[in-house]
Amino acid sequence: MRVLGINAVFHDPAAALVVDGRIVAAAEEERFSRRKHGKAPVAFSTWELPEQAARWCLEHASLAPADLDAVAYSYEPGLAPDPGGDLAAGEWEGLRTLYARRARLFLRTALPGLDPACVRHVAHHVAHAASAYLAAPFERAAVLVLDGRGERASHLAGHAVGGGLKVLASQRLPHSLGLVYEEATAHLGFRRSSDEYKVMALASYGRPRFLPALREAIRATGDGGFTVAPIAWQSLAPPVRDEARDERHADLAASVQARLQEVLLDLARWLHGRTGERALAMAGGVALNCVANSFLAAQGPFERVWVQPAAGDAGTALGAALHVAQRLGDPITPMQTVALGRGWSDDALRAWLAGAAVPCERPDDLADAVAEILAGNGVVGWFQGRSEYGPRALGHRSLLANAGDPDNVHRLNAIKGRESFRPVAPMVLQARAAEVFDGPLPSPYMLFTQRVRPAWRARIPAVVHVDGTARAQTVDPAAEPLVARLLAAVERRTGLPVVVNTSFNTAGRPMVDDPRDALECYGAAPITALAMGPFLVRRPR
Ligand SMILES: [Fe+2]
């Protein structure tokens, strides 16, 4: 069966293609449109589809819209609150529902030739859940979706066995752990529905001294759900204006993070008690909180925790497609990689470089040549293979630097125009990871944090966060042979099995995706060299 998944309702529009139960392609619209998060998270934009991503998915598989057996749309308007005739009520909730109901017609326009009868709505949290339990390498698992909101709920706890899902609990809105974290994000002067990871980073600088107030407000209810009472944020710390943050703001971030983790632990314990499973599969925007994920892995009752790399709403495109493919009878092959986006042949890359009149070389051993630059403390734009699905750069669209120089965190933050408190992350060979890092390993998708072992802290200062942790990506040579060779070559020169890896983009812009984006970013930022496929572009001294 050929199933195209579509996420369009809230934000992070994306498309994914599943053919005969295998994930063939998946991409976020922002990588095409160059608009971060794809669209504004308002009801008015619900009709906007991931048109370019969807067309590309089909093109990649040489399919036409008419060849699709199903289109899976990750929202079920039938479950949404009844607008009751007033489209404007509740921040235009009725408009969102109306647009979602008409998705068939919008899809027919966007994908000419599509049979609108093949469009199926999939409940938002069922799609998130499927993106976890069907993509994870488990036959059976407990499933936790932790989100901002879906149709009427913000969370789902379930039990997945043999491809089917039994829903055990689902917390109704307005109670939402995702939305409370979003509120904190906005109060701390960051962009809601976008910059939650900055709150997580800021939390390491503070003490959770507002925890008692948050324990009052946010409570697990003992039946798999929770309640969130309105929080007087102002009474804890003043709202942040003009990026002026002080200790109170760091303490507030630390408190919100700590309370989130406590509640997640309660939810996980309840779910473990109900399912008795050893493995947990997670998705939903809150599951991108790698500090909370590590806390759950360490303190929680599950032996294994697997998180969908595109845990945010973009991942519901994949989840909806997997869910429908499974329902149509296809056996599902678990997710093997996030490298599901666009890629270019060597010839195509050569043509791009020639077209831009950028002099380049083709080293005999690219890994070795790039390692030499990194050893000399250069910053390298690394554009290799297919782009990543989800928010993390994992060695396909990355900026790489030397982990041994403590200034490199500031240098990369300056290149990218990011706040100075933001950490950058290490990549490390899987076989060497446990020597350097202590925490959930392997971690191929950077969804957990680890403690940097004391003997290594002074050796790789660029990647050690203020609290002594790092968010490592472990590299399996079988899955990522070129990155593995690069890491080995860097270690031969520097003695460090670790390289700094951050996303290849500048502040506020989506990650680079196509060769033009890479060349533009290289041209606009002080990057020492650009490794694009087998070609190496060196900035003239
Ligand atoms: Fe969601």
Give residue-wise pLDDT tens across range 367-404: 999 999 999 999 999 999 999 999 999 999 999 999 99
Question: How confident is residue 437, by pLDDT bands cut at 50, 70 and 90?
Answer: very high
Question: How confident is residue 449, by pLDDT bands cut at 50, 70 and 90?
Answer: very high
Task: Write the DSSP string, 481-538.
Answer: HHHHHHHHHHHHHHS-SEEEEEESS-TTSPPP-SHHHHHHHHHHS--SEEEETTEEEE
Task: Report d(CA 512, CA 440) in Å as an integer.
Answer: 29
Closest CA to 472 of 485, 462, 458, 486: 462
Residue type, 181: Y
Distance 74 CA to ligand 1 centre (A): 9
Task: Report d(CA 224, CA 266) in Å as an integer.
Answer: 8
Task: Report d(CA 338, CA 445) in Å as an integer.
Answer: 8
Task: Report d(CA 508, CA 360) in Å as an integer.
Answer: 29
Query: By the 8 A CB rule, do 184 and 256 touch?
Result: yes
Q: Which of 11, 121, 155, 175 is catalytic?
A: 11
Quick one: pLDDT at residue 506? Answer: 87
Is the pLDDT confidence value at 87 over 90? no
Task: Report d(CA 216, CA 539) in Å as an integer.
Answer: 56
Active site residue 187: no
Is the pLDDT confidence value at 21 over 90? yes
pLDDT tens-digit series, residues 479-537? 999 999 999 999 999 999 999 999 999 878 999 999 999 999 999 999 999 999 999 99
Parallel, antiparallel, or unpaired: how do β-strands 529-532 and 437-438 relate? unpaired
Task: Write the DSSP string, 398-416.
Answer: EEEEETT-TTHHHHHHHHH
Q: What is the mean pLDDT of residues 15-25?
A: 98
Q: What is the mean pLDDT of residues 351-364?
A: 96
Distance 316 CA to ligand 1 centre (A): 7
Task: Report d(CA 508, CA 486) in Å as an integer.
Answer: 29
Q: How far apart are the first and last CA of the chain?
A: 54
Query: By the 8 A CB rule, do 276 and 141 touch?
Result: no
Which residues is 500 bridged to in the sheet?
Answer: 401, 426
Q: Strand, coil or helix: what is 365?
A: coil
Quick one: pLDDT at residue 194? Answer: 81
Task: Report d(CA 532, CA 477) in Å as an integer.
Answer: 20
Distance 153 CA to ligand 1 centre (A): 10
Residue 394, both tokens: 């994992």
Quick one: pLDDT at residue 385? Answer: 98
Phi, psi of 516 (to 5 degrees): -65, -45
pLDDT tens-digit series, residues 184-209? 999 999 988 888 889 998 999 999 99
Q: In what order do the strands lie in the sheet with 529-532?
A: 473-475, 425-429, 498-503, 397-402, 380-383, 529-532, 535-538
Task: Report d(CA 402, CA 410) in Å as an integer.
Answer: 12
Quick one: pLDDT at residue 466? Answer: 87
Task: Say which DSSP state 77 is in.
Answer: G
Quick one: pLDDT at residue 420? Answer: 75
Contacts 24+ apart (CB under 8 A), 240-248: 240/187, 240/188, 240/189, 240/190, 241/189, 242/189, 243/189, 243/419, 245/188, 245/189, 245/202, 247/206
pLDDT tens-digit series, residues 226-278? 999 999 999 999 999 888 899 999 999 999 999 999 999 999 999 999 999 99
Alpha helices, DSSP H, located in 121-205: 124-133, 177-187, 196-203
Closest CA to 304 of 334, 282, 329: 282
Q: What is the mean pLDDT of residues 320-336?
A: 97
Closest CA to 430 of 480, 463, 474, 395: 474
Task: Report d(CA 500, CA 495) in Å as an integer.
Answer: 14
Q: Strand, coil or helix: what is 115?
A: coil
Q: What is the mean pLDDT of residues 309-333?
A: 98
Distance 416 CA to ligand 1 centre (A): 28
Distance 128 CA to ligand 1 centre (A): 7
- Residues, CB within 5 angstroms of ligand 1 (ion): 147, 313
Please give the share of the chain, as a percent, with pLDDT higher than 70. 100
Distance 187 CA to ligand 1 centre (A): 21
Distance 312 CA to ligand 1 centre (A): 6
Distance 500 CA to ligand 1 centre (A): 30
Which residues is 160 bridged to in the sheet?
Answer: 141, 165
Closest CA to 387 of 345, 346, 342: 342
Please give the share of the chain, as a percent, with pLDDT higher than 90. 89
Task: Report d(CA 387, CA 252) in Å as an integer.
Answer: 36
Quick one: pLDDT at residue 88? Answer: 85
Parallel, antiparallel, or unpaired: how do β-strands 2-7 and 70-73 relate? parallel
Task: Say which DSSP state 82 is in.
Answer: P
Quick one: pLDDT at residue 124? Answer: 98
Quick one: pLDDT at residue 187? Answer: 96
CA distances from 6 to 119, 319, 430, 480 (A): 10, 9, 33, 28
Distance 283 CA to ligand 1 centre (A): 9
pLDDT tens-digit series, residues 395-435? 999 999 999 999 999 999 888 888 777 888 999 999 999 99
Quick one: pLDDT at residue 178? Answer: 95
Query: By the 8 A CB rule, do 21 and 333 touch?
Result: yes
Query: By the 8 A CB rule, do 389 and 314 touch?
Result: yes
